[in-house]
Structure 1
Amino acid sequence: MIRPWKVVSILLLIGAIILDPSLSVGKGEELPAGTLTGGASAPAQMLGIAHAVHLRPTLEYGREIQKFSSLVGKRPALVMYFLDWQGNPNAHGLDRYFDPYLVNTISNTLPLSERPAIMLTWQPLHGRQATGCAQDYNAGIPLPDILNGRCDNYIRGFARALKARPERFLLRFAHEMNISDSPWWVGHIGADPSLYVAVWRHVHRIFSEEGVPNVEWVWSPNYASNPPDPWNDLHRYYPGDAYVDWIGLSGYNWYNARQPVVWKSFRDLYDAVLQDLACSYAKPQIIAEIGSVEGDGVNLAKAAWIRDAYQQAPAYPFLRAVQWFNDYAYTDPNNADFRITTGTAQDGDVRPLEPWTGAYREAIANPIYTTTLPSLDQVTPPSTYCGGPPFRLSPNVALMAPIDLTSIQLIGINYTSTVQISISLPDSFSATPSPDRMDPPWGISIIQVKTQNAVQGTYTLTVHVSGEGVSLNLPVQVRVINQVYRMWLPAVWR
């Protein structure tokens, strides 16, 4: 695949072309080697992890959220429900494109301080001519039709309807695109993931044209591509950093509800993929759907599974929300039962399902699970993270002229206390970090390094990072040469 054109800085020195080591090539923008270490010993999540839940919509949705919160002892920061593309042909104005009934029941029931953010799992199904598609669709809307604009009027109306609302929406469009269960899986029509990427960007562009400030985009594959072929790898469906705000995942412990019968723990499901995604994309992560069925109730117990999952989740530094799927699979009582409470279609009443409700209540009692979803700016990491030390320099080598100026980044991820930054310098050098302190869990300080009549040779600058439990000395090697020629050349990676 041909990657987009990028402009890179190239240093020309004594006939040799040297690629600036601050640049990186790959799925994300910063890809140092290493393996993220999970487990209970990992640093605490200073931003917290939002308590989130999928509750099946009811006529009294606000009351259902209240009752659920009371049963589990903590209100959700984020609530998710599913909707398709048919809209409401009998409504008027923008309500034709987005039915506000459920969000209105929330705002009419819950005080402003207790209202959750809303994740809309927006499935391209059942488009209607009456609400903006070029024809009626009885099931999935073919991706080529979306790309060719056959539902643009609906998409634009939907965007305007969300823009007119006061809520914060996380839009989970065409989720689990990497599994054959999904109607929009490209394998059904013999296409490849580039079609999905083009469709995502097309829909995103319409929202951008409408200027919808209260929508954040959640790209949400399944934790395991099916089929597990290289062409169907989840990374091939990634629309690009400019089109994605959050990365979501879904994965369940189906046990005997599906073949093969395997009991899968939280780490079995999520460990490898959460590490891989953190190493590939500087994006906050959400587990958008998670659940477990019951095993034998003793050696394989759903209650123990719940406790373990919420104990393991804080080991992943980009993970910002865990959203329990409180329903039967496909809303079918004869299918897998992931519930931790009951639910009803009418009055919003929910009741406990012990021991699962109690296990869930105990698990989310940990104060790391919060009732507020931080802003997108707060939760977006400054860089990718592939494990290793929490602080690194990019670059850690530099070429400079005797009188020159260059910049070095100190990148910190997954640290737990405020740190101060200072620099030890040889003669003829000066350096200023901005800022000179960084708060957890991550940050970037830009260090401006200047030379003033420095003699040619090799020098070592030392960046000192200090704080509670932190004392690091990070070297930067600087080679001063007679003259450095800087050129800007277009480059393309294939």
Structure 2
Amino acid sequence: MPAALVTALAALAAAAGCSSGAGAAPKITTTARAGVAPTPPAKGAYFGAWVPPEDARKRAPSGSPSASPSDDPSDGASGSPSATGHPSAKPTGKDVDKPGMASVVGFENELGRQLDIVQSYRGWKAPFPADLDTSVLGGNRYLLLTWAGGDTRDIVKGTYDDLIRTRARAIKATGKPVFLRWSRDMDKASTRERVHTAADYIAAWKHLRAIFTQERVDNVAWVWCPSARGFGSGNAGSYYPGDDEVDWICADAQPGGDYDYRDLSEAVKLFLQWARDRPKPIMIAEFGVPKAYAGRRAEWLRAASRTLQDPQVKAVVYFNSDEQREDARDDRRAFSVTGDKRAVSALRELATTPYFNPRNLPVTPGG
């Protein structure tokens, strides 16, 4: 890591004071190759989002929370099973006509800036890059590729080596920096059947990385991402493969459907405490304010902005979707802000805060 970057990060950590009460961040290291794979900004944090594609509105609800295709290890689908929250006005601007980009550009229109990171979900057996992936990689946005996990024991046995090798070569062939978030939320009980144990998960993670290394894939940053809740109710940290195996540490951090109201600071508190002992940049890959918070959504987002301005947090990704709701009336798991003027305005404030715009991308007036 360049000495200048280390110095800048250390200075920022010493100067920053954030509402979450975090102390100075550790010196940040990464195995990712600078200039080829995504590396953390010297100051601030990238801002990104998951914005479901337009055709997702035509699909039937999944009937269960967190049920994107990436949760099914045998699923070959892409996108999300149900989604709402697209801008009512036809989006305009650069890249709007590229495959899969209409919803992304529409969301950017609402925020008044381009995203740094666009998230994409792919099933374990789904080929990539898909249309959205190719469109993102063709511009100056980073792709966060969330790839589902297969059965960890089968992976270690070599059952899927050909599939893994094919995916590794496909990512290498793009020639563009890619965040790879494999088998997210591995600590949840819903994944136990294919994850088995923490030891099995770690062995599978190392097996994947070994194949990517054999294929000389150096444009990937490996993102390890359990649930934030797993640091309180479970043992998420036991799934950590080690500092030499991980580039970014991450958590999915919605406030939880069993709370009437809960600040993001509470949702990420134990995860951030755990992360202080790891010299890694932090990504919050799925965070969102529930529609159930109604008039307090803007308040929640402004508090979240303060919490996330943490010297170790280097990327945040908003989950602008309602697909996790259990039914049409489940507003505790609905996170799209589109159509809620006050929430959109507050998210725009967050996204255009200099801390979350480290590349100094243009900001349009409005909001």
Give the TM-score, by structure 1 length.
0.53
Counterpart of 1:253 in structure 2 is 255
Task: Summarize the alignment of residues 267-346 of structure 1 with structure 2, pairs less than 5 Å apart.
Answer: 267-279=265-277, 281-295=278-292, 297-298=294-295, 301-314=296-309, 316-330=310-324, 334=328, 335=330, 336-341=333-338
Q: 1:319 is aligned with what amino acid? A: V
Task: Summarize the alignment of residues 204-243 of structure 1 with structure 2, pairs less than 5 Å apart.
Answer: 204-225=209-230, 228=233, 233-243=235-245
Distance 1:296 1:54 in 2: 20
Q: 1:120 is aligned with what amino acid? A: L
Q: 1:211 is aligned with what amino acid? A: R
SS at 1:56 equivalent: coil
Distance 1:147 1:123 in 2: 16
Compared CA separation, residues 296 and 66, structure 1 to 2 (3 A): closer
Q: 2:291 is aligned with what amino acid? A: E
SS at 1:268 equivalent: helix
Counterpart of 2:130 in structure 1 is 100
Task: Summarize the alignment of residues 124-273 of structure 1 with structure 2, pairs less than 5 Å apart.
Answer: 124=149, 141-182=150-191, 186=195, 191-225=196-230, 228=233, 233-254=235-256, 258-259=257-258, 261-273=259-271
1:78 matches 2:78: no
Distance 2:187 2:170 in 1: 29
Root-mean-square deviation over aligned CA pairs: 2.7
SS at 2:291 equivalent: coil
Q: CA deviation at 1:331?
A: 7.2
Q: CA deviation at 1:61?
A: 2.1
Task: Summarize the alignment of residues 44-123 of structure 1 with structure 2, pairs less than 5 Å apart.
Answer: 47-58=43-54, 60-87=99-126, 97-106=127-136, 112=139, 115-123=140-148
Aligned residue pairs: how many?
283
The answer to whether the Cα contact below 8 Å between 2:122 and 2:128 also exists between their aligned partners in 1 is no
Q: 1:285 is aligned with what amino acid? A: I
The answer to whether the Cα contact below 8 Å between 2:223 and 2:248 also exists between their aligned partners in 1 is yes
The answer to whether the Cα contact below 8 Å between 1:49 and 1:319 also exists between their aligned partners in 2 is yes
The answer to whether the Cα contact below 8 Å between 2:52 and 2:103 also exists between their aligned partners in 1 is no
Distance 1:177 1:207 in 2: 20
Give the TM-score, by structure 2 length.
0.70
1:39 matches 2:19: yes
Which structure 1 residue ranges, 5 or more long, are not aligned? 1-35, 88-96, 125-140, 342-351, 374-494
Distance 1:311 1:38 in 2: 6
Q: CA deviation at 1:69?
A: 1.2
The answer to whether the Cα contact below 8 Å between 1:180 and 1:226 also exists between their aligned partners in 2 is no
1:355 matches 2:355: no
SS at 2:254 equivalent: strand
Ranked by relative contact order (alpha carbons within 8 Å, sequence separation 6 or more), the top structure is: 2
Instruction: Determine what percentage of the aligned residue pairs are the same residue.
Output: 26
Q: CA deviation at 1:104?
A: 2.7
Compared CA separation, residues 311 and 38, structure 1 to 2 (3 A): closer
Distance 2:20 2:172 in 1: 41
Q: CA deviation at 1:37?
A: 7.2
Q: CA deviation at 1:234?
A: 1.7
Q: CA deviation at 1:238?
A: 0.7
Compared CA separation, residues 46 and 246, structure 1 to 2 (3 A): closer
The answer to whether the Cα contact below 8 Å between 2:261 and 2:293 also exists between their aligned partners in 1 is no
Compared CA separation, residues 192 and 208, structure 1 to 2 (3 A): same
The answer to whether the Cα contact below 8 Å between 2:145 and 2:179 also exists between their aligned partners in 1 is yes
The structure that has the greater radius of gyration is 1
The answer to whether the Cα contact below 8 Å between 2:128 and 2:170 also exists between their aligned partners in 1 is yes
Distance 1:273 1:151 in 2: 32
Which structure 2 residue ranges, 5 or more long, are not aligned? 1-15, 26-40, 56-98, 361-367
